[in-house]
């Protein structure tokens, strides 16, 4: 087999075989095919697309390129959750304990943040003492004991995807639906759960800008999951504004704790309850989403989900006194309120700009090697549909970089669009994609 022939075949719009895809992925991972040939292949895929079969074969080749986690020692049906990434998305920290408090195991591998989107692992590190690196044995033991553990993704999970993603990033081939779907699903399948709930973000703060594009991506991923015999369902959820109010690591941990204490933002609570209800259904704990909503709402109200969060933090070495007193979380030196210079109803928020403002304040990584300021970020006090008068506080920024305050302040003010007339709140959950059905809500 020659890489040249495969590039030619794909350029001409023909379908690659499983043997060809395996050859290309295995040889590339080993380093025997040069980046320039793989770049050409990626560009050919970008323009010609891939069939359902090719997409599945690519996913499988990447899934088996490194460690494949065996979770069979964990009792029960394991459901993984994945978010395609957004601004201020704090769901894992709430959904994990919520599902675990219902007795369903959650064995979660999470990533770090890059650019303006956050990562669960960074957030958890704002709790002093918390360990994100457990051996696979400790991980499994903790899930069996506590029903919940969250660890950093092993460095050797889907190494082919890691290499390919880095190449896509510099060859303008990231935003292809089949490539994104196979990239995400290769890691989810390698991580070993029995079923997968996907939170596909749509809107100006997400990869996918429209519901149509989001549904296409969701369908690809659901297809791959089903081919691999893992039940997979996707919720399409709005990223037309940050989720909840907080954007930034310690601030989002506080927001998750508030939510577990029945004192969090409505949109975050709503999404967490729905994601958790799907996880209960997929783990066969419940027979319907409505039943799951009832149970999870009760677990939240009763404080059992909050107690589970504490147990989880303690099991991984974190200082739980921080959970009762969130002023012990990393605190920024400069805390500044931003006042509105416009009046009216908020019509739109440039969510990307809000994410970039948080990055400017120190909350994110400009590149993979950069360090992160866990205390930095912002809180939005007004969201789409809210009425604002001149002088109202619309956001609070937290930073240790005094010189970034003015810039971040301008970014936030410029990110807001106002209307004179009232504006309805955007719908949070917009569609559900499962094996047999696309339901638009």
Binding site for Ca ion (CB under 5 A): 88, 90, 243-244, 246
Contact 355, 247 (CB under 8 A): yes
**360 sits near ligand URA (criterion: CB under 6 A):** no
**198 sits near ligand URA (criterion: CB under 6 A):** no
Q: Is 78 a catalytic residue?
A: no
Q: Is 230 a catalytic residue?
A: no
Q: Is 168 a catalytic residue?
A: yes
Distance from C-alpha of 368 to C-alpha of 374, rounded to nearest angstrom: 16
Q: If binding means CB under 6 A, how many residues of this protein chain bind ligand URA?
A: 6
CA–CA–CA angle 114, 118, 123 (5° rounding): 120
Distance from C-alpha of 251 to C-alpha of 88, rounded to nearest angstrom: 9
Q: Which does 375 bind (CB under 5 to 8 A by kind): Ca ion, ligand URA, none?
A: none
Element (H, E) at 185: helix 177-190
By DSSP bridging, strand 106-110 and strand 148-152 are: parallel
Query: Taking the complex as a whole, how short is the minimal distance between the CB of residue 204 and ligand URA, in angstroms?
Result: 17
Which one, 330 or 355, has the nearer CB to ligand URA?
355
Catalytic residue among 80, 122, 161, 258: 161
Q: Which of 69, 98, 151, 180 is close enough to bind ligand URA by CB under 6 A?
A: 180
Query: Taking the complex as a whole, how short is the minimal distance between the CB of residue 267 and Ca ion, in angstroms?
Result: 9
Q: Which does 246 bind (CB under 5 to 8 A by kind): Ca ion, ligand URA, none?
A: Ca ion
Q: Is 48 a catalytic residue?
A: no
Cite the beta strand spans of 28-93 per DSSP E. 79-83
Torsion of CA 338, 344, 345, 347, to 10 degrees: -90
Distance from C-alpha of 441 to C-alpha of 438, rounded to nearest angstrom: 10
Contact 437, 386 (CB under 8 A): no
Contact 427, 238 (CB under 8 A): yes
Listing DSSP states for 319-363 in one string gives -THHHH-GGGS---SEEEEEE-S--EEEEEE-HHHHHHHHHHHTS
Q: Which of 117, 183, 283, 379 is close enough to bind ligand URA by CB under 6 A?
A: 183
**6 sits near ligand URA (criterion: CB under 6 A):** no
Stretch that binds ligand URA, among 31-39, 98-106, 178-186, 373-381 (CB under 6 A): 178-186
**184 sits near ligand URA (criterion: CB under 6 A):** yes
- Contacting residues toward ligand URA, per CB under 6 A: 165, 174, 179-180, 183-184
Could you give the residue numbers annotated as active site?
82, 161, 168, 183, 187
């Amino acid at each position: 087999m020659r890489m040249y022939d495969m590039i030619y075949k794909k350029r001409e719009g023909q379908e690659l075989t499983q043997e060809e895809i395996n050859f290309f992925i295995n040889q590339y991972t080993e380093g025997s095919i040069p980046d320039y040939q793989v770049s050409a292949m990626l560009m050919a895929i970008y323009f010609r697309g891939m069939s359902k079969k090719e997409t599945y074969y690519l996913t499988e080749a990447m899934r088996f390129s490194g460690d494949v986690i065996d979770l069979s020692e964990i009792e029960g049906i394991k459901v993984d959750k994945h978010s395609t990434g957004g601004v201020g998305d704090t769901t894992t920290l709430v959904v994990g304990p919520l599902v675990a408090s219902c007795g369903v195991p959650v064995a979660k591998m999470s990533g770090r943040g890059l650019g303006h989107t956050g990562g669960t692992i960074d957030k958890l590190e704002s709790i002093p003492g918390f360990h994100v690196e457990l051996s696979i044995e400790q991980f499994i033991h903790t899930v069996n004991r506590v029903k919940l553990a969250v660890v950093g993704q092993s460095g050797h999970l889907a190494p082919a995807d890691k290499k390919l993603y880095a190449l896509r990033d510099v060859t303008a081939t990231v935003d292809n639906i089949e490539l994104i779907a196979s990239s995400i699903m290769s890691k989810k399948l390698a991580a070993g759960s029995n079923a997968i709930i996907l939170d596909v973000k749509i809107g100006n703060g997400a990869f996918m800008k429209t519901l149509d594009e989001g549904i296409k991506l969701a369908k690809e991923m659901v297809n791959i999951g089903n081919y691999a015999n893992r039940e997979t369902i996707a919720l399409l959820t709005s990223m037309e504004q940050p989720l909840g109010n907080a954007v930034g690591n310690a601030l989002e941990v506080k927001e998750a704790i508030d939510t577990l204490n029945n004192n969090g933002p409505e949109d975050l609570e709503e999404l967490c309850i729905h994601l958790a209800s799907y996880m209960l259904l997929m783990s066969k704990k419940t027979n319907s989403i409505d039943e799951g909503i009832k149970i999870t709402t009760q677990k939240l109200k009763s404080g059992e989900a909050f107690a589970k969060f504490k147990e989880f933090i303690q099991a991984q070495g974190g200082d739980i006194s921080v959970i009762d007193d969130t002023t012990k979380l990393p605190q920024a030196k400069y805390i500044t309120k931003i006042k509105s210079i416009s009046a009216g109803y908020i019509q739109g928020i440039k969510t990307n700009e809000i994410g970039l403002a948080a990055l400017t304040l120190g909350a994110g990584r400009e590149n993979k090697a950069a360090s992160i300021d866990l205390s930095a970020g912002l809180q939005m006090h007004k969201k789409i549909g809210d009425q604002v008068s001149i002088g109202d506080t619309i956001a609070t920024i937290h930073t240790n970089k005094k010189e970034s305050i003015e810039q971040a302040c301008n970014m936030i003010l410029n990110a807001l669009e106002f209307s004179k007339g009232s504006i309805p709140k955007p719908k949070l959950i917009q569609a559900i994609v499962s094996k047999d059905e696309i339901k638009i809500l």
